[in-house]
Structure 1
């Protein structure tokens, strides 16, 4: 039938449906463009305290213990949900373990390579500096080509780099392999986080987020325990080489595991939505095959991107400032033996895991921002006893670590709720790793500042790291409070991507969620 024979009303109806479908897709996978007019900015600032204190529990008919109970949400998860969650969780855990293999064995590596501990901390710094490169490369790859292939590639390259670290013979080789590891560590977070969290039931997301980032603490525990196990292996003083060779074998398990399962449903839905959007591009022809969604993301996410880099910089300072030099503090300043040192690190990181799970669940009561702020105040209260007389007051350090990782337990879901769906892996990964880049010199800064405070009467090279770490961390905890008070929140934003034509049920959300959804696009 010739188009001239089609009734005008029918054509107009189809055009209207097409436009509605296209707009629905855009609304679902992109956030709105920020409004930076003075009236919008003033209104936004006026709403920061009221929205912070408008607790989600006030808008729920459930009691507090029903809200924080994780079991109903966990029961909603299918076997596939659990599979993808633990694929992401253990990838992040092994990633963290490989990072901390240097931290826990820094004095031994320094002795082997004939350098000092401060120089070895540059290996930690380089890892943090190069992580943003991996986040950009593999974040974009995960958003365009899927979650599965980047996951497997990263794990394979982990094997190569960790084996190489065990064979280094000089300081320059050490810096080279740790730089390569930094790229891979930055690549792993976005792929692991979206694999674990993006397609989970809403009722389970907070507790799952609470456990996910503290996988970092579990990785620290593994690094410390296996360092102790391999400390006397290989040559005297070079047991750290065995530690790296052992760690190279763990990603093999993840490669085999991931190979048996298909691409995630969340990515397939995103791919279909982008395909629909690009096919409907007015240019048509060759250009309709090109994914132009990145330009929409740039226009709509630039302001949120800047804020999140600032937030994640402060976030990363809380961990790197309180943890990276802690083993050196115990060893050099307080002379803690290997057995007690292992116990302290394991207990404090177990406290971190518990903190992440508890605070992640309790963010359902308080909202994301307030839950993190409470953790920062908690950490500030324990800073002094944690770093002064650390050999005796390691219980305080355990409580501080519980607060730090409790805050981090909220971070993954808070981050995924703030960024758009179109470039979820790329945005969440890059802001996290740029925050790492900005905080990358934390351990080196503390080490250099510590050298200004030699302890009188102690052996040469013994410095008061505790004083420096206490002041440094206190300043970071305070800055986090300010940033979060001023920041946005999209509590319980729906992360599900609905296919074109698929029936989308409207879910009832709390008033705080609705209000924050508008406030945080900077246009209300």
Structure 2
């Protein structure tokens, strides 16, 4: 298949000097298959393909040597106090969101006893939550891009807290499922707005590190939920106490967000008197979808793999240790906490390294190493061994995940950094929604012999085989996919503003063209007049 190449704008001297001297332009091919082959070859070249924006707003790609690894504390120092505050609010909202979700998944056995249902029945609530998250992501992500990040996030977090309280008062299993479905709808809107708020103004050099930390709000939320579960004890009714804590965290996140102003882009648009109409917004959205549909499809496929990756390896892990490894509830919860501590460390470390080795290389290596870790993850016996193996397994699983927030932001159309990451992430969640149910259903219908000679449900083999397939899928998909390392999106206006700007620019060019034509016509008339007189 012959690949076509696109012209590369010549970088101005000032731009190349700022980048540390002239660099070799990187050829950009056209076509899906040609781009996939180019992406795969790029993995084996030490230099990185970097997106550059010149002073005229043109973007092009060039080859650059990987930047030297910087002291992480110096990277932290690049953020201003305001940027830190916005980052922490986004991180806290994502942590509270994760706590809300895991308050159910780590208490599956308690809820099964409370409602008199099987563990597989209880995981139906997880499936419904994940199914409806994509709807919430679309609604609240587009609201965030249209009206700003602030009020959609406030509404999300407060309603999530109220739905946690409604779960506590659900007296029947049908009420429980209905409330969790609504919970999924509102939960879906959190990720896109939280990540956009936390990362959109981060300095370029610090993005990898901050992305890794941001993503681990999910793991940190799990750790907090597991600690809460450990603290309340193993009695059946104690699940309600964990849900009360979750409600307080979510409502608190909404109230804290209330104290902060809107994002920089929307404030500047408002100050300039720029009015974005609904027609402008939807006009730009349609144009973006027509132009970027391949990127949208790729990111949905990638996030489907990633959501299977995390839910398959995590959601049933506590159940695996209690049921298959025959640990008591407290020991299983402690091992889960260590597993998620490994996730927090791994996400931060691999996210930091992605600034040096590139986003895709970091994901591919982390996912392949996690494949090699699987035997050591499911075969050990005892709390200590399982805690250690869980730590290192999740170090690499969430290490790959740690690159995702900034990778999705860099791949996003600049004006859609609230909706694009959130919708693609939650569509992946929707497609992978049955993951916990599938694992539980297969494990509960197959049995293995434990180290104590008992017949136990086959959670270990099921989770191990599924995770190998998923990790290999992530490695292949990422290796063939795009990367836009170094992309600048800080000055992009809100969705709809670019249509208005384009109209204004077109009108200005039209007026200039008309003026030039009139001038030429006047000169031509004068020349004819002179000629006639002569």
Q: Which TM-score applies when normalising by structure 2?
A: 0.80
Note the C-alpha offset of 1:289. 6.4
Q: What RMSD in Å do the two structures reach over aligned CA positions?
A: 2.5
Question: Structure 1 residue 406 and structure 2 residue 399: aligned?
Answer: yes
Question: Structure 1 residue 53 and structure 2 residue 47: aligned?
Answer: no
Residue 250 of structure 2 aligns with which residue?
251
Structure of higher CA gyration radius: 2
CA contact (8 A) 1:72 1:203 kept: no
Question: Structure 1 residue 477 and structure 2 residue 477: aligned?
Answer: no
Question: Structure 1 residue 489 and structure 2 residue 483: aligned?
Answer: yes
Note the C-alpha offset of 1:247. 1.4
Note the C-alpha offset of 1:273. 9.5
Query: Which has the larger displacement, 196-205 or 471-480?
Result: 196-205
CA contact (8 A) 1:154 1:184 kept: yes
Note the C-alpha offset of 1:288. 6.7
1:383-421: per-residue Cα shift (whole Å, max 9, x none)? 112122353343122111010111111000000000112
Distance 1:324 1:247 in 2: 18
Residue 77 of structure 1 aligns with which residue?
79
1:242-285: per-residue Cα shift (whole Å, max 9, x none)? 11112111123223322221101034357789947x68xxxxxx
Q: Alignment partner of 1:200: what SS?
A: coil
Residue 29 of structure 1 aligns with which residue?
none
Runs of 5+ consecutive residues of structure 1 not aligned to the other structure: 1-37, 280-286, 501-524
CA contact (8 A) 1:269 1:498 kept: no
Residue 362 of structure 1 aligns with which residue?
353
CA contact (8 A) 2:136 2:184 kept: yes
- Aligned in 2, Cα 1:273/1:179: closer, same or farther, shift over 3 Å? farther
Q: Alignment partner of 1:455: what SS?
A: strand
Note the C-alpha offset of 1:137. 0.6
1:116-127 matches, cutoff 5 A:
116-127=118-129
Distance 2:474 2:281 in 1: 40
Note the C-alpha offset of 1:62. 5.3
Residue 332 of structure 1 aligns with which residue?
323
- Aligned in 2, Cα 1:439/1:461: closer, same or farther, shift over 3 Å? farther
Query: Which protein has greater RCO, CA pairs closer than 8 Å, 6+ apart?
Result: 1
Question: Structure 1 residue 199 and structure 2 residue 201: aligned?
Answer: yes
1:108-130: per-residue Cα shift (whole Å, max 9, x none)? 11101010101001111111111
Question: Structure 1 residue 178 and structure 2 residue 180: aligned?
Answer: yes
CA contact (8 A) 1:270 1:422 kept: no
Question: Structure 1 residue 437 and structure 2 residue 430: aligned?
Answer: yes
Choose which of 461, 464, 478 in structure 2 pairs with 1:467: 461
Higher strand content, 1 or 2: 2
Residue 284 of structure 1 aligns with which residue?
none
- Aligned in 2, Cα 1:439/1:269: closer, same or farther, shift over 3 Å? farther
1:58-105: per-residue Cα shift (whole Å, max 9, x none)? 934854xxx242222221211110110011001001100110111111
Q: Which TM-score applies when normalising by structure 1?
A: 0.81
Query: Which has the larger displacement, 190-199 or 342-351?
Result: 342-351
Q: Alignment partner of 1:238: what SS?
A: helix
1:350-400: per-residue Cα shift (whole Å, max 9, x none)? 111110111011001211001000101110011112122353343122111
Residue 155 of structure 1 aligns with which residue?
157
Query: Which has the larger displacement, 459-468 or 133-142?
Result: 459-468
- Aligned in 2, Cα 1:362/1:39: closer, same or farther, shift over 3 Å? closer
- Aligned in 2, Cα 1:94/1:493: closer, same or farther, shift over 3 Å? same
Residue 8 of structure 1 aligns with which residue?
none
Q: Alignment partner of 1:422: what SS?
A: helix
1:26-79: per-residue Cα shift (whole Å, max 9, x none)? xxxxxxxxxxxx96345323312331223357934854xxx2422222212111
Q: How many positions carry a matched residue from both structures?
A: 450
CA contact (8 A) 1:388 1:467 kept: no
Residue 344 of structure 2 aligns with which residue?
353
CA contact (8 A) 1:123 1:179 kept: yes
Choose which of 94, 106, 109 in structure 1 pairs with 2:108: 106
1:130-145 matches, cutoff 5 A:
130-145=132-147
Distance 2:333 2:281 in 1: 53
- Aligned in 2, Cα 1:273/1:346: closer, same or farther, shift over 3 Å? farther
Q: Alignment partner of 1:462: what SS?
A: strand
CA contact (8 A) 1:164 1:177 kept: yes
Note the C-alpha offset of 1:498. 5.4
Q: Alignment partner of 1:47: what SS?
A: helix
CA contact (8 A) 1:68 1:365 kept: no
CA contact (8 A) 1:387 1:467 kept: yes
1:455-480: per-residue Cα shift (whole Å, max 9, x none)? 35989993111011100000001111
- Aligned in 2, Cα 1:82/1:110: closer, same or farther, shift over 3 Å? same
CA contact (8 A) 1:293 1:422 kept: no
Distance 1:375 1:80 in 2: 33
Question: Structure 1 residue 91 and structure 2 residue 93: aligned?
Answer: yes
Distance 1:112 1:101 in 2: 15
Distance 1:121 1:274 in 2: 50
Q: Alignment partner of 2:448: what SS?
A: coil
- Aligned in 2, Cα 1:335/1:251: closer, same or farther, shift over 3 Å? same
CA contact (8 A) 1:301 1:419 kept: no
1:216-231 matches, cutoff 5 A:
216-231=218-233
